Amino acid sequence: MSVPKTVLEDVWAETLKKLKDNPDFNLETVEKIESMVQEGMIIPNDIIDLLTG
């Protein structure tokens, strides 16, 4: 799937904000996703795999 980087950045920034605010999510998982986003390695399937464990 190819999506413009700016769209993905916006989506994942909002997702990370919601995950950080939700105590049910493992902080380590959120930090891994945040690191991937910061490094520009935004691969939706990898992030979905992290979230679904």
pLDDT in tens for each of the 53 residues of the chain?
Answer: 555 667 777 887 888 888 888 888 888 888 888 888 788 777 888 888 888 87
What pLDDT is stored for residue 6 in this prediction? Answer: 74
Quote the number of domains for the chain: 1
CA distances from 5 to 24, 34, 40, 45 (A): 28, 15, 9, 15
Domain around 45: 5-52
Look up residue 42 and give its two tokens: 């935004």
pLDDT of residue 38: 80
